[in-house]
Structure 1
Amino acid sequence: MTFTPTLSLTEFLSQPNIESSPAWELINGRTIQKPMPTLFHSRLQRNLVNYINFHTEELEAIQELRCIVSPYSPVPDIAVIIASRLPEADGAFNGAPDWLIEILSPDQSTLTVQNKILHCLNNGTQLAWLIDLTRQQIWVWQGDNLPHIYAETDVLPSLGNLPPLTVNGVIAMTNRS
């Protein structure tokens, strides 16, 4: 993870490299490059997006969508947004996703990810998941409540009318399918 001096949102968005892979985020005035995803991270991200999009038309799950949640510019691993909120024009999403999903990388700061989640929750996000593959747990924030830690056969809260998902079911999405 690389840190640079403090920038304003306008200064950050005018930088030419923020969409390079992996993407750059602006959190607390600092630019942070997301870690390069691992095989399991990438599979989980793809399979979870496909699962959500297959089971609902009310929501759309999108990988690595830049959001503008002033003064931050997060790029969640998965942004799930009520379909009617999505703009017709291409570009970043102006606002917080309705459901934010992050997959913790081994070299990623848990505190930085939680800070991003809390900022989005304070700006309209209804539900947030922080998936910890190493511990096989999922931290869940809903509304103003403190996070709950789910494991194994615990059924996870979701938005929309998705079929129930357990932590074991989410972790199994790291496998090829």
Structure 2
Amino acid sequence: MTATTSQPITLEEFLKLPETKPANEYIDGEIIQKPMPKGRHSRLQGKLCTVINQITEEKKIAYAFPELRCTFNNRSIVPDVAVFQWNRIPFTADGEVPDDFKLHPDWTIEILSPEQKPNKVIGNILYCLQNGCQLGWFLDPDDSSVLVFLPQQQPELLKGSDRLPVLKGIELELTVEQVFGWLKMAL
């Protein structure tokens, strides 16, 4: 992540700026550009969204959005995967998904990219938890580990056959090795 502004701007000013690719985030008065996703990142992000949505969408339990801008309190962030419980998705009057999500996700998933600083990414997960998020995952593809964050608890480092926690009501059983096993596509 690299800062793209030299002087602080307000959240309102930031939200008036055009979207960029890769996405910019607004954190503590600064605009910080996320790195462009690479192969491992994209694969894990896509599989996580697919697997979660296969279990949750039809039953209207939750939905996993890739790269969705979430603006709440004084930040505007773009988690790699933002999972919202169905009853919290702010549908329009026509029942469509809105463009703007001005609320925190229920479950935030971040996948570390080589160019990212871990503490900045973890800072976004912690901010989500401090503002109502129920679960955070921080995936590190380099050491095949997941740091799990739950409100009011110490983070837990999971590896190998450790089972990953999910949101209540989601019938999904995944281990860390299953998630990182998705990277092996040619076998």
Same fold (TM over 0.5): yes
Deviation of 1:176 (Å): 3.9
Structure having the higher Rg = 2
2-structure distance, mates of 1:37, 1:162: 28
Deviation of 1:175 (Å): 3.8
Deviation of 1:118 (Å): 0.9
> 1:165 and 2:168 equivalent?
no
Alignment of 1:12-31 (within 5 A): 12-16=14-18, 19-31=19-31
2:166 and 2:172 in contact (8 A); partners too: no
Report the AA paired with residue 182 of structure 2. M
Post-superposition CA distance 1:17-71 (Å, at most 9, x none): xx22111101121111110111111011011100000012301000000001220
Deviation of 1:161 (Å): 2.5
Alignment of 1:72-151 (within 5 A): 72-89=75-92, 90-151=98-159
Report the AA paired with residue 28 of structure 2. N
1-structure distance, mates of 2:101, 2:44: 23
1:69 and 1:95 in contact (8 A); partners too: yes
Report the AA paired with residue 71 of structure 1. N
Report the AA paired with residue 48 of structure 1. L
User: Which structure is higher in RCO with an 8 Å CA cutoff and minimum separation 6?
Assistant: 1
Residue number in structure 2 paired with 1:47 = 47
Deviation of 1:7 (Å): 1.8
Gapped runs of 5+ residues in structure 2?
A: 93-97
Which of 2, 5, 8 pairs up with 1:6?
8
1-structure distance, mates of 2:154, 2:138: 13
Residue number in structure 1 paired with 2:164 = 156
Post-superposition CA distance 1:124-171 (Å, at most 9, x none): 100000000001110000111121000010001001322210000111
Gapped runs of 5+ residues in structure 1?
A: none
Aligned length: 175
Residue number in structure 2 paired with 1:65 = 68
Give the TM-score normalised by structure 1. Answer: 0.94
Residue number in structure 2 paired with 1:34 = 34
Deviation of 1:121 (Å): 0.4
Report the AA paired with residue 23 of structure 1. A
CA RMSD between the two structures: 1.3
2-structure distance, mates of 1:172, 1:6: 42
